Amino acid sequence: MRNRSIITGTGRFLPPRIISNFDLEKKMNTTDEWIRQRSGIGERRYAEAGVGSSDLAYEAALKAIENAQIEKSKIDFIIAATLSPDHYFPGIGVLVQAKLGLSQIGALDVRNQCCGFIYGLSVADQYIKAGTYKKILLVAAEKQSSNLDYSDEGRDMAVLFGDGGGAAIIEASNSQGEMGILSTHLFSDGKNASDLWMEKPSPYDHPTFAKELLADKKFYPRMDGRTVFKNAVEKMPEAVQAALKQNGLTIEDVDHLIPHQANDRISLMVARNLRIPVEKVIRNIDRYGNTTAASIPIALDEAVEEGRIKAGDLVVLTAFGSGFTWASAVIRW
């Protein structure tokens, strides 16, 4: 019988410094009212200087390992997702590995932005099903606060994003039950790459880090918010429907939907398009903003800790973001 992938532990780490909308009002021409109305965000967390995504990932990983009740030495593979790595290279996978005091095992970096956790989950699921690995650490973390444009020009992006990390331990099980990852579904359309991106630094430029590029604010992430919004509210429901169809399930079977926390209006429109009651949608963007790859594992861990997600529940994850990429996963908890 083929292995099944089971999430045996989750963890999260949010840096303690809370940045309210009022704090941002002092930096740029924005208001608490605008941010709440347009995004549902009330506050977000910012990590201090000297803290990187790998540190947030490490803290979240420790909690996931503790909750899974495994020895960290038993982890046989690491998958790490971030769009804000500590360094241009190497990725944070090896840094998390070193911080955990592990060596030899492979560490894979996933660069699928808001979909990073689900893309990583899909990779983990395939490795487990193939019998290659037995205990995989999947981490997703972002330190975005140090590279946002806090001028009026960058206010559409700057108010949305926050820092944080989330993690999961995915283990092989050959039990007969229905439990575990039922399926994952990955999609992308690269023609929209420039609608949400950090264009520079780029080796197209010679030199890559030219002063003029810095002066032109080319090193900040930028997006066409309306195009992203419009696509997100279409593609996430499509991804969920594809996942349900493959498993012979309907939206009525879903106990919890965890959408990537990009904007609360997006989450509510996704719920409306899917005709799922809003009480079944897990939403925490009001407290953390958009933590990109980390948003789903943070929300998942909170919901598990609160006892909202219980054994046997059907949990559906979905995300949309830069690439464009979009994805879904169905898990029997």
Give me the residue whose beta carbon is nearest to ligand UT7.
225
Check residue 318 for interaction with ligand UT7 (CB under 6 A).
no
With CA atoms as reference, report the closest residue to 120 among 304, 267, 300. 300
CB atoms within 10 A of CB 113: 26
Complex with ligand UT7: residue 285 or 315, whichever CB lies closer: 285
Interface characters, 111-150, with ligand UT7 (x: CB under 6 A): ---x------------------------------------
Q: Which stretch binds ligand UT7 (CB under 6 A): 102-110, 123-131, 153-161, 304-312?
A: 153-161
Q: Are 211 and 300 in contact (CB under 8 A)?
A: no
Check residue 159 for interaction with ligand UT7 (CB under 6 A).
yes
Q: Which stretch binds ligand UT7 (CB under 6 A): 14-22, 31-39, 54-62, 90-98?
A: 31-39
Distances, alpha carbon 260 to alpha carbons 290, 297, 326, in Å: 8, 9, 10
C-alpha span between 5 and 128 (Å, rounded): 6
Distances, alpha carbon 151 to alpha carbons 29, 289, 331, in Å: 8, 18, 41
Complex with ligand UT7: residue 15 or 321, whichever CB lies closer: 321
Selecting among 3, 67, 115, 260, the annotated active-site residue is: 260
C-alpha span between 308 and 282 (Å, rounded): 9
CB atoms within 10 A of CB 34: 14
Q: Is 290 a catalytic residue?
A: yes
Among 3, 8, 10, 30, binds ligand UT7 (CB under 6 A): 30
Among 57, 75, 139, 196, binds ligand UT7 (CB under 6 A): 196
Check residue 34 for interaction with ligand UT7 (CB under 6 A).
yes
Q: Are 292 and 321 in contact (CB under 8 A)?
A: yes
Check residue 226 for interaction with ligand UT7 (CB under 6 A).
yes
Q: Is 3 a catalytic residue?
A: no
Terminal Cα-to-Cα distance of the chain (whole angstroms): 20
AA letter at 68: A
Q: Which stretch binds ligand UT7 (CB under 6 A): 11-19, 86-94, 131-139, 221-229?
A: 221-229
Q: Is 114 a catalytic residue?
A: yes
C-alpha span between 202 and 212 (Å, rounded): 13
Q: What is the DSSP letter of 77?
A: E
Give the 3-state secondary structure of residue 257: strand
Q: Which stretch binds ligand UT7 (CB under 6 A): 59-67, 137-145, 261-269, 304-312?
A: 261-269
Check residue 325 for interaction with ligand UT7 (CB under 6 A).
no
CA dihedral 179, 3, 91, 290 (to 10 degrees): -20
Selecting among 21, 112, 114, 256, the annotated active-site residue is: 114
Catalytically annotated residues: 114, 260, 290
What residues line the site for ligand UT7 (CB under 6 A)?
A: 30, 34, 38-39, 114, 155-156, 159, 196, 225-226, 228-229, 232, 262-263, 266, 290, 321
